[in-house]
Structure 1
Amino acid sequence: MDVTQGVAAGTVHAARVLDEVRSAVLSGGPVPAAPRPVIERSWERMVRSGVDPDHDFHAGLLPRAEVERRRETSELRHVLPVLREGLLPAVDEARHIMVVADDEGRVLWREGSPGVLRKADGLGFELGADWREDVVGTNGIGTPAVTRRPVQVFAAEHFVRSHAAWTCAGAPITDPRDGRLLGVVDVSGPLETMHPATLAWVGAVAKLAEARLRDLHTRSLERLRAVAAPVLARIEGRALVVDRDGWTAAVTGMPYTDRITVPKPGAPQPRWLPGVGPCSVEPLAGGWLVRAAEEPVPQGATRIVLDLRQPRRWSVRVLGGVGAWTHELSPRHAELLCLLAVHRTGRSAAGLASDMFGDPARTVTVRAEMSRVRRYLGALLAHRPYRFSEDAEVDVLLPADPLDLLPHSTSPMIGALRHENGRAGPAGLGRS
């Protein structure tokens, strides 16, 4: 039974049942009703990380100057008008507040009902506060950041007891260019103001914000394309102009590809980029001019390091005769490469769909994502079936606790890997 289904019949009754459920789960006693899976998994993480359910922890606030610095550098500043227009008209009337936090869970903006803002101050829900899940428990900012999907946390679904008088609905906002988490938008308020439609409303506005970011990126590429045209017209051979994140604005003498992996600033010349080969990289207004060299790519043994240790900081690093480069991974790509590290002999699209979604029919999604992965891994990732190159050495760096492996993932296979016995990591991972 999903205990939140009883909310319509009375929030007080539902809150009382949830309090009994949480107390029973924490004490190990018989549970009167099952908590929702997303909440149950969050509580498990809280127990493992040592969050005290009876201690209202107030993290140190960032200085106001640091809050302003983060505001000025956050991509979220571009979508504040969308969030305000979509949420604020109803927030004040419904006695709620809108809260926007960055990818580290730090509160950067708060607006809404003055009375509710004052109550939030009493919980430490202030500007500059740290509301990561492993700091303050299950909540409408930290939990969506971990799960990467909208989450409503009602009453005693909050892990920390003092938060049980609140209801929160938060949705992650990701960068449409690379899937990187930018932050979370949350609507919170007193328990009695909860409405079942709040979560869908917040999630829809978060998607509008992501659409706005996508539109801004398209416009920036159009401006860069205008700068690139006269530059490329004077170049013989293969070259392309990309933005700071590697998205292609224009090419000459070579096939068009949506995106390349650009080197970190300060990397030595000459460089080798996947999909381009040896090349030189020159700064250009708003991006990079990449000139491909004509000499053959040097050969050598290749080592692939898949780093899954830090939440939201997953990456793949390639080292070999052509040099070394690193690419940050989106949540979906981290899942796919983890699965391929398990299945070194290869996996069909249907097999990966079954591993990821429990549905072998979802091959269209898998093929589309694998096509994007192959844009930066190139020949290091074979297909039919999908697999790492046979002559590549693959290392997987895992979190200290196997249960922290890709905590956002709902993949059946990832879930099974998390619960493999032993703290040395899931079977099938490591060096191969």
Structure 2
Amino acid sequence: MSTSDDLHARRLRAVRAWTHFVADGDKEADTVRPEILSSWQLSGVVSPDVTHAPLDDEGDTAEFWNQSPLQTAVTRVQDELRRTAEDGDLVIAVTDEQTRILWTYGGRVMRRKAETVNFVPGGRWDEASVGTNALAIAGRTGAPSMVFSAEHYAEVVHNWVCWAAPVFDPVTGRPLGVIDLSTTWDRTHPIGLATARVMARLIEGALPADRRTSPLGATAPADPGLTLTLLGTAEVWLDGQRLLLNRRQTEILALLAMHPGGLSVEHLHSLLYGDSSVTTSTLKAEVSHLRAALAGQLSSRPYKLTLPVTTDVEEVQRLLRRGDVRAAVRAYGGDLLPGTESPALVQMGDYLAVSVREALLVQPDPDAVLRYSDLAPYDTAVVEACLASLSVHHPVAPLLKGKLAAGRG
């Protein structure tokens, strides 16, 4: 265990490096670890004088938590988590993939400290919100992280030390969020990071076996049928089980899902390949592989899916038609099958992106715009429209101004 003198010397070095970087503009700061320097550089949109994390809507956070498989897992192991927090006078937090805190438990002293800086459910602890911290680094890099004292960008948490480890879905490998252990800097212990890793594995092992995660932590339907995730990433689920398909097969499924009445081989070939010189025999071979993967639930003449199908593309469109822009942006994971060369899918992707953008310009919900700006960081017009609709003192305004500065930069 580090001696008191060692910790004080380490803290002094961290304070000096932070002062050189923040006050003196020394953007090299080679006296800190590379991951800290990289995070400091990302934190420039945040004032180092920020006093607390911004809070997301309480109802939205609770709804997300209640629907997340993390909630089931944490409930199953909460006795172990609470015992760890109480024995070490720690505050433990579990976040979603965007580093929004969903659940916390703290020892008596740290619980009070945590509440003063919004280290509570709904608190946003990404680097764009509060600067460098272990939760943000672990969530961004997918690797365990420790941030000690003045390695934090925000001066208000210079008295903290934090250890964080990412939590992954063991089935899909998808990141679900982060678990973080925090206490005061003078209680730094060498096993802190190892403990965070153990807690992350504990949660992963307690995830419900009969549920599968999809983007944003929601659960894939257990009902019979085909579920396609096409926005930002590509996943195909059949009756709750993930199918491992190649890119072209996923594109074919996407096109068939968008044409429930069926497609002739010639029409499907045109939508998929455009003017490319690909033979219909190649297409037929891909369809044959798909038919086998779907247990025969793909008919011929025309090609048509013969089972229930749901897609995130359809869900975003449904929410936009209903006028629920916030939910639509939450369901919108990004570009439709990024990198696709299918003319029809490129056209649909552009249509959907424009639809989401136009809906935000008409109804610039602050939380939705924050989410959207992560997906489209250079679309400053949407951020400007949102800022114009907010009061100067709205809690989200500083974050949006930071996003605007970063987008213009």
Amino-acid identity (%): 23
Aligned residues: 289
Q: Answer yes or no: is the 8 Å Cα contact 1:108–1:128 preserved in 2.
A: yes
1:136 to partner: Cα distance = 0.3
Aligned to 1:175: 169
CA distance in 2, matches of 1:100, 1:265: 39
- Establish whether residue 75 from structure 1 lines up as the match of residue 81 from structure 2: no
2:39, 2:175 → 1: CA distance? 19
Instruction: Say whether residues 1:205 and 2:199 are aligned partners.
Output: yes
- The answer to whether 1:127 aligns with 2:133 is no
**Aligned partners of 1:279 and 1:290 also within 8 Å:** no
Please give the alpha-carbon distance, in whole angstroms, between the structure 2 residues aligned to 1:243 and 1:209: 26
What does residue 294 of structure 1 align with? 300
1:37 equivalent to 2:29? Answer: no
Partner of 1:19: 15
Cα gap change, 1:137 to 1:121, in 2 (>3 Å): same
Does 2:287 correspond to 1:277? yes
Distance 2:55 2:122 in 1: 8
Closer/same/farther in 2, CA of residues 398 and 97 from structure 1, 3 Å limit: closer
Matched, 1:118 2:115: no
Q: Using structure 2 for the length normalisation, give the TM-score.
A: 0.57
Q: Any residues of structure 2 matched to 1:249-328 within 5 Å, and which?
A: 258=244, 261=250, 263=254, 267-269=258-260, 270=262, 277=287, 291-295=297-301, 316-320=338-342
SS of the equivalent of 1:56 reads coil
Shift of 1:90: 2.0
Structure 1 counterpart of 2:146: 152
2:53/2:125 contact within 8 Å kept: no
Report whether the alignment pairs 1:54 with 2:49: yes
**Equivalent residue for 1:415?**
none
Q: Is the 8 A contact 1:19 1:156 kept in 2?
A: yes
1:33-91 Cα offsets, whole Å, 9 max, x none, are 621111111011112xx21113324414423x223211112221122145525432221
Asked which structure has the greater RCO (Cα within 8 Å, sep 6+), the reply is 2
1:279-428 counterparts in 2 under 5 A? 291-295=297-301, 316-320=338-342, 400=378
Aligned mates of 2:185, 2:339 — CA distance in 1:
46
1:332 maps to what in 2?
A: none
Conserved? CA contact 1:242–1:289, under 8 Å: no
Deviation at 1:199, TM superposition (A): 1.0
**Aligned partners of 1:250, 1:66: CA distance in 2, in Å?**
26
Shift of 1:280: 11
2:364 corresponding residue in structure 1: none
CA positional deviation for 1:97:
1.1
Q: Quote the Cα distance in structure 1 between the aligned partners of 2:255 and 2:53.
A: 37
Question: Is contact 2:29-2:37 (8 Å) kept?
Answer: no
Match of 2:87 in 1: 93
Deviation by residue 1:251-288 (Cα, 9 ceiling, x = unmatched): 9xxxx96457464998331377999639999xxxxxx9
Higher mean alpha-carbon deviation, 97-106 vs 155-164, is at 97-106
Task: Give the letter aligned to residue 246 of structure 1.
Answer: V
User: CA contact under 8 A between 1:43 and 1:159: conserved in structure 2?
Assistant: yes
Q: 1:102 aligns with which of 91, 96, 99?
A: 96
Secondary structure of 1:168's partner?
strand
Distance between the aligned counterparts of 1:79 and 1:249, measured in 2? 23
Quick check: 1:99–1:187 contact (8 Å CA) kept in 2? yes
Kept after mapping to 2: 8 A contact 1:280/1:293: no
Aligned partners of 1:227, 1:132: CA distance in 2, in Å? 35
Aligned-partner SS, 1:99: strand
Give, in whole Å, the separation in 1 of the partners of 2:104 and 2:297.
46
Distance 1:85 1:243, change over 3 A: farther
Does the 8 A contact of 2:48 with 2:155 survive in 1?
Answer: yes
State the shift of 1:116 in Å.
1.2
Q: Which residue of 1 aligns with 2:391?
A: none
SS in 1 for 2:87: coil
Residue type of the partner of 1:80?
V
Per the alignment, residue 84 of structure 1 pairs with 78
Conserved in 2, the CA contact under 8 Å of 1:83 and 1:206?
Answer: no
- Distance of 1:34 and 1:164 partners within structure 2: 17
The one-character-per-residue Cα deviations of 1:207-236 (angstroms, maximum 9, x if unpaired) are 333344484458xxxxx9x997xxxxxxxx
Consecutive unaligned residues in structure 1, runs of 5 or more:
219-223, 229-240, 282-287, 298-311, 328-396, 402-422, 425-432
More helix by share: 2
Give the superposition deviation at 1:202: 0.9
Identify which range, 267-276 or 29-38, moves more after superposition. 267-276
